[in-house]
Structure 1
Amino acid sequence: MNLGAFDLSAFHLLRPHWLWALLALPLLAMWWRVRRRRASVWRDTVDPHLLPHLLVERGDARVRAAWAVAALAYVLAVVALAGPSWRQVEQPLWQTRTPLVIAIDLSSAALAADLPPSRLAQARAKTSTLLRERMGGQVALLAFADDAFTVAPLTEDAANVALFLDALAPDVMPVDGQRVDRAIEASEKLLRQSGFDRGVILLMTDHADAAARDAAAAANRQGYRINVLGLGAEAGATYRRADGSFAQARLDEASLRRLASAGGGDYASIDAGDADLRALGVLDPASASDDARQVRDARGHTWQDDGYWLLPPLMLLSLLAFRRRAALAVVVLCIAWPQAHAADWWQRVDQAEHARMEEGHEAYRRGDFAGATQRYQSLDSADAHYNRGNALAKAGQYPQAIDAYDEALKRQPGMPDAIANKATVQAAMKRKPPSGDGGGGQSKSPKDSNASKQPQDAPSQQQQTSKAPSQAKPHESPSQAPPKPSDSNAQRDADAAQRERMQRALEQQQKSPEQARREQALARETPEQREQRLANEAWLRRVPDDPGGLLREKFRIEHERRQSQGGNNE
């Protein structure tokens, strides 16, 4: 905080009613004084005028100092709760986000080509632009022809609404027609059911009749605004109806302007850019209404509560409550702070060990076996030594790996994985002559890169100590002995072959339980079962991902339900 910015004239309290708590301070002082007087047994047996001469008051100065400190701490606490403030800061405040319902005309007239390539393509592109550039606020999508249907309800996720755009086509509508009035009524009902008493309805169509104007006026009286985006051109174009006949479609701007005027909104004809959407005010939900603009402009700043600056002196005064232990507490905190900061305040010892184990697993998966060995070596548990043995074995350091397995068996006698891996590494050492570099038989072959391409899967988070990479047992078949090298090239080839066999064995052991069960099931299946499985998999691959078909079926069922109920609105 900039102390130079303190303005005494702007100082005030955000919660001044807390100051009433200061009235309790004199009452507390009187109570303390009466309590001290009653605590002295001599005051009940000795005359008051003789007490000053008979009693030696000890600690009065200290008691008075303690009382003063306690009173000061009480005052600081009350003032902090009162919320002292002397500056204003910018505050991200809640703003009115006007919801928007987009209603698209999906009658057969949408296929007219007076807006190349078609009205439908232009409407899709315009809706996509609106969903992409709209600055927040809930949005819904409706499609209408002879009736109106909800494609996507009101949601903050505009990308979820955009998923249905490519599926919009006249053939998903159960009945052809252009009932704009039903689109307005369905949009109004959708907003009202979502709890909005204000909202914007954007209609994309080419003309409107008297019924549509009446519906727009009724919606506007309920607080909903009707904006209209004209689809088409005045010249018009011929299109084919659903029954196969041909008709002429043209843009009737006059009727659409009257519709927008009845709904208290604006009209714009569709164009290539986004000027039409900006003219309608649907890109910025906060500017879609005068009320939203007033909320945004009037509340751009708020007073900062600076009472927290009184907490440090209050905490220092609270240390005096420890009396003689106060200084000791400060010294302990100063000494323990660097160590606690380095060890992480928020981790227990077991959590820190688990974190180091996870670091080793990550290094193991990356193929950094040296790094994994160092991380496992910092832990002294059976699982850590076992994992270290596996990392050393993958690095070709077989004697060190055996020592690590022995350490694991010391801490957990009879550990089956450690016994199995130790035996496998010992068998590999007998078949593989040492390379003579004192490095535990580690191969120098540049072909030995396959050993680190398949790191072990991560361990389960529920395990206290994990053995994720250590589940790999480098078993190999004894019958696959490498050829005896006759020269240095043969030695390198033998080393590479040996490592490849061990890597295959490790990969076989690293398979998940689900993969192992699946392979076992596949190995036991009969020819008839295999044929049935392949047929099922082929059938599943032929299942189409057709959002249009889903909308078509949804609208058909909804239309039949409405017809059976004798109504048309949702």
Structure 2
Amino acid sequence: MMASLEAFHFLRPVWLLCLVPLAVLWIMARPRKAARDIDTADIAPHLAAALRVGGTGARRILPVDGVAVGLALLALAAAGPSWSRIPNPLVSETAPLVVALKVTESMETRDLAPSRLDRARFKILDLVDARAGARTALIAYAGSAHRVSPLTEDPNILRPLLDGLSPAVMPKPGDDPSAALALALEISATADTPGAILMVLDDFNPAAVANFKSPDDVPLPPIVMLVSLPNGQVPAQLDRVAGVTVVPLSADDSDLKRIERTLRSAYKAALLNDERLKWQDRGGWLLWPAAVLALLWYRRGWTMRWTMVVLLAGSLQLPSAGMAEGWQDWFLTPDQQARLAYEDKDYARAATLFEDPMWRGHAQMRAGQYADAAETFADLDTADAAFAEGLSRIRNRQYRPGARAFEKALERQPDFPAAATNRDIAWAIVAYVETAQEQSDTGEEHGIGADEIVYDNETQRGTDTSIEAPSENSAPQTAQQWIDSIDTDMGDFLRSRFLLEQTGAAR
């Protein structure tokens, strides 16, 4: 709240000058109370009261007062009050989160059913589900810290990885939260928006307290520590860690709501400090009280004759085309209605209302209409549109066209680090998929309709085979089913990967 008050300003302050002549006109137009000297000494009190027109008290609020206040509100609205920035449509509207999960033998204690580690897994998954569309990365740490998953918006990626984590897969025993913090900061630095760090643990190594102090030149991002202990217990050493928010694990969602509030505050603070984003005009909020004041002009004794003329002239200026159906047509443009639907996470409706093609494409992408979004972005000639097209095609599993879209973005804007990074990742995915197909394409018949899975294999890597699925009571496997059919234990995979990372770091 304090940050919003400090950021409050007017986008068009010149309109505030209208308040000066408005105040002068109001003073001149407001009638003053006329003195009435009536001799009522010889008149009965009840008759004397009836002779006083309007009673003894003066009317405190006059029609001109309502007009002055309404016009003042319109002047303030035209000045453009603002205290927040417009989020980038290509970036999630929630701060990215890096989750560092402690994976040690103490986390397998069963004082929390079924265990501290299992309860921590459940909480992380609940948090990811609640942050639908937001990016989350996962780190596992014990005596060393290892990246389990990069920042991703897909909770289905995190589920099997979380299930595969256990103390047995960690290459080095111990408790080193400092290593987890360093790796979390490294991952956070790759995000377009400053985010937060969530550490899920049952105990904290006191030797790491000094590493959690924020340097003067580079402040640390918001850090939340979710303590997986029974009965809301909190380790005493966490009192020595300054600047972190400690949240005890609870049986309900109160701990998750507290974490979400911290993340929202971090996201709003990041937006205020991002000079690349435009300020959001909040003047529209002042139109509603001005409209309520206008309704008072129709009361008996309040009507001002020129009011109808002003309203009639204003109604002639209302746009009659391009409006969506409903009462909102009188007050909001299609893009404004679409923006409200977008903020309510009704992305499908927003996609149908947006006239701005960039926003329409992003709403389509959020609604899961990746093919339509890619076509919308492809019709635009900006680097941001090409970048968004690449994201849409990657999510639609069109890896090679996605890589080419990122290359198109670099052609339009050579200095585009995000496009260069995503291009390299997309080409790496293409190479990985084609290599996997080459190794698994043996021509043996396993009942898998492999011809139904297309990964843009333009280089013709792998053996050309045609495998027909059984025609009765069966269907070709989807890409997700094909991935699930790979006979590899997730724990073995993580153990091997962490061991290789640890061996490489030790050299």
User: What TM-score does the superposition give when structure 1 sets the normalisation length?
Assistant: 0.36
- Choose 1 or 2 for highest CA Rg: 1
User: What TM-score does the superposition give when structure 2 sets the normalisation length?
Assistant: 0.40
